[in-house]
Amino acid sequence: MIEVDGLTKDYGTVVAVQDVTFSVGRGEVVGFLGPNGAGKSTTLRILAGFLGATAGKVRVNGLDVAEQSLEARASLGYMPEAAPLYPELRVREYLEFRARLKRVPRAKRGSSIQRALERAGLADMAETTVGHLSKGYRQRVGLADALVADPPLLILDEPTAGLDPNQVREVRALIQELASDHTVLLSTHILSEVEATCQRALVIDKGRLVAQGTLAELAKGRRSATLSLVVKAPRDLAAGILGEQPFVSEVAPHPTVALDDGFERLRVTLREGTTPLEAGQQLTRILVTSGVDVASLAPEVATLEQVFAELTSDDSGEP
């Protein structure tokens, strides 16, 4: 559905996006993650046909965005982070205007607008002037605009920005519903949004794509791993033994519920390249030999927050 090959965008001497390559298959919901200023919005604007690339190729629904811009744009709905709305129009009037621009057939226009209003949670606000809406409701108008022509592909840039917690849950539920018959590329810096709605994630930092894959694949590809263990011994004794091992980079108390007297839960971060299974076996052997009882030891499943922090840190190893 989306094919991006070697995408680069320069603004004079500033490189906003550099040699980005990825694809999104039909029916996928893919998160596009990155810190503010990483190049997410620039990439999406190029995909949507609103900004030209310096180099590289972008195909949407089999169409070259640069050479077949109008046809490619007709197959997607794009919701920018700040939708360019007309404040003097009523919500329904604005969507009528947008539906005409998108060449929604006149016979279907009314029903298409009503369906977009309902899906975006705007049915009760259809006759309200856009300029009188809160930021959250203006975001919903932008979402309704993306939906009004019922395109097979949706490109959503920060769709929950400005929404209250209840509205965020509603939009997430809508995205999951849309996934049944749409391809969705969702840009956000809110990690829980990706965890809640996406099958796969792309991570961009400083204009470069630094990782892509399912959340499990991203976690598996971390440079370091973490073990969680419960020991029956004083914390300082166990931590001292663990910290002496050359393949251990950090030992810290585990932020979890209190354990029975005499037991301590510790989190052990391994140095880059260390295999968790082998490290766990060695640590167990060393602790037992030192007279420390090991009640449990297991690798921790990395959260998306941990993966994201590692991939986008200054020492991530990426240029």
Q: What is the predicted pLDDT for the residue at 175?
A: 87
- Segment 168-175 shows an average pLDDT of 86
Residue 65 has pLDDT above 90, yes or no: yes
β-bridge mates for residue 39, sequence order:
none
Q: Give pLDDT tens digits for 46-57.
A: 999 999 999 999
- Give CATH for domain 2-220: 3.40.50.300
* Selected residue with higher pLDDT from 165 and 147: 147
* The one-letter amino acid at 65: V
Please determine, for residue 223, whether its predicted confidence score (pLDDT) is greater than 90. no
The whole-number average pLDDT for the span 284-308 is 87
Say which DSSP state 119 is in: H
Sign of the torsion angle spanned by Cα atoms 51, 40, 92, 175:
positive
Q: Is 149 exposed, middle or buried (0-12, 13-18, 19+ CB in 10 A)?
A: buried
DSSP string, 59-109: EETTEETTTSHHHHHHTEEEE-SS----TTSBHHHHHHHHHHHTT--HHHH
Instruction: Please provide the CATH number assigned to the domain covering 226-301.
Output: 3.30.70.260
Which residues fall within 8 angstroms of residue 151, CB to CB, at 6 or more apart? 74, 75, 76, 77, 182
pLDDT tens-digit series, residues 84-142: 899 999 999 999 999 999 999 999 999 999 999 999 989 999 999 999 998 889 989 99
> Domain residue spans in the chain?
2-220, 226-301
